[in-house]
Amino acid sequence: MATPHALTHARGQLHTDRLAGSARGRRFGPLRTSLLVGATAALSFTALPGTASAAPGDATTADQAAAAVADASHQLEIVSEQLNEARVALQSRQDAVRAADEAADEAERRLDALDGQIRQLARSAYTGSSASRFDVLLTSDSADDVVSSLGTLDAIAGHTNEVLAEVSVAAEDAEQSRESADRAADEAQKTVDDIAAQQKDLESKIADYQRQYDALSAPQRAQVARARGGVDVAKPSGVIAPSAAAQKAVDTALAQVGDPYVWGAGGPDAFDCSGLTSYAYAAAGVSLPHSSKSQSQMGMPVSRGELQPGDLVFFYSPVSHVGMYIGNGQMVHASTSGQPVKVASLDSMGNYNSARRIAG
């Protein structure tokens, strides 16, 4: 049966667990600090590629120089989108940690709420001793009253035991959740350290890429643009999407035409590919992760022949680029560094992969 001692033991155990949780919270300090500078979650990353298959200075022709820089842009986008995906995964990991903390807190609140109740029951209703039963015998008017009263006492005790057992299980589950959260935090911290180095390397390679791009002539830059997103197409007017949310997303994406491409940017004044699409759908009240890979798993799949304005279109395998279809075989997308957000042919990227309908 339930006793104050049993409850105190359960609460004491949870208190000990919470102290361990507090220690974990202190360990989380560096993790949260790292998150502020772009930490990412536990994923497997490919090694950062060279910024080009051949440096422009080593290329024998202008075409080779432009091709090398275009390849560098693609490789950098792959790594940048991996970093975006890592941030999405880490956010999910953090949500799990918060849920574990909340579960443990709720278990303790339930124990606190039962504390006075169980103590009162144990003190005034049933303690398992013969004295309480003797009181029943003295105060009952008949044998039926005795049986009824003893049955009531047993029922109260049984219910109390059931409640305490339920809360004890909740406390145990909460502790297991916290242990899982500890492991997740340790993994996340290790990945933060690994990805911080990756991101630093990426920033260095972006700077190197920018120097290579700046060294190209205007015709060579145009060649890079064609290879990484096609020539500019006039922004259309009167695009009609199949739903209000898709319409808002299309209008918002088209309103960003001319804004610069920046790796890892999600607006409002600069974008990478998945940053543009997530920004556009956020304006429509639809939350999308800032990652082309994650976005390629959202909504419902649609064939190329069924595309409608607002659908997201994905490129390469595995997916590393996303744009938004706007009709007439065209899309709006943030294509590559040195090129603003633009409208281009759906075929301009090559390597078409798939499409998803987010709204409509």
DSSP letter string, 180-193: HHHHHHHHHHHHHH
pLDDT band at 193 (very low <50, low <70, confident <90, very high): low
Is the confidence at residue 182, as pLDDT, over 50?
yes
Residue 315's pLDDT is 96
In this predicted structure, what is the pLDDT of residue 27? 36
Tens digit of each residue's pLDDT (9 = 90 or more) over 217-274: 888 888 877 777 666 678 888 899 999 999 999 999 999 999 999 988 999 999 999 9
52 pLDDT exceeds 60? no
Q: How far is CA 323 from CA 192, 227, 301, in A?
A: 29, 15, 15
Mean pLDDT score, 342-353: 91
Among 9, 15, 74, 273, the active-site one is 273
Q: Which residue is catalytic, options 5, 74, 159, 333?
A: 333
Residue 319 neighbours by CB under 8 Å, 6+ apart? 81, 292, 293, 296, 353, 354
Tokens 């589950």 locate to: 173
273 counts as catalytic: yes
What is the reported pLDDT for 331?
A: 96
pLDDT band at 292 (very low <50, low <70, confident <90, very high): very high
Q: Please give the mean pLDDT across all residues of the chain.
A: 73
Tell me how far apart the alpha carbons of residues 248 and 285 are, in angstroms, rounded to a whole number: 9
pTM, whole model, 2 decimals? 0.62
The residue-averaged pLDDT of 14-43 equals 37
Judge whether 347 and 227 are in contact, CB under 8 Å. no
Mean pLDDT value of segment 79-108: 77
Which residues have a Cβ under 8 Å from the Cβ of 12 and sit 6 or more positions away?
A: none
> According to the model, what pLDDT value does residue 26 have?
35
Q: Give per-residue pLDDT as tens, 98-139.
A: 777 777 777 677 767 666 655 555 555 444 444 455 555 556
For the chain, percent of residues with pLDDT exceeding 70: 61
**Residue predicted with more confidence, 349 or 357:** 357
User: Tell me, which fold does domain 230-357 have in CATH?
Assistant: endopeptidase fold (from Nostoc punctiforme) (3.90.1720)
User: Which member of 9, 74, 290, 321 is catalytic?
Assistant: 321
- Catalytic, 9? Answer no
| pLDDT over 70 at 60, yes or no | no
pLDDT score at 199: 67
What pLDDT does residue 205 have? 78
Residue 303 confidence class, pLDDT cut points 50, 70, 90? very high
Lowest-confidence pick of 46-50, 66-70, 320-324: 46-50
- Which two three-digit tokens encode residue 116? 């006075």
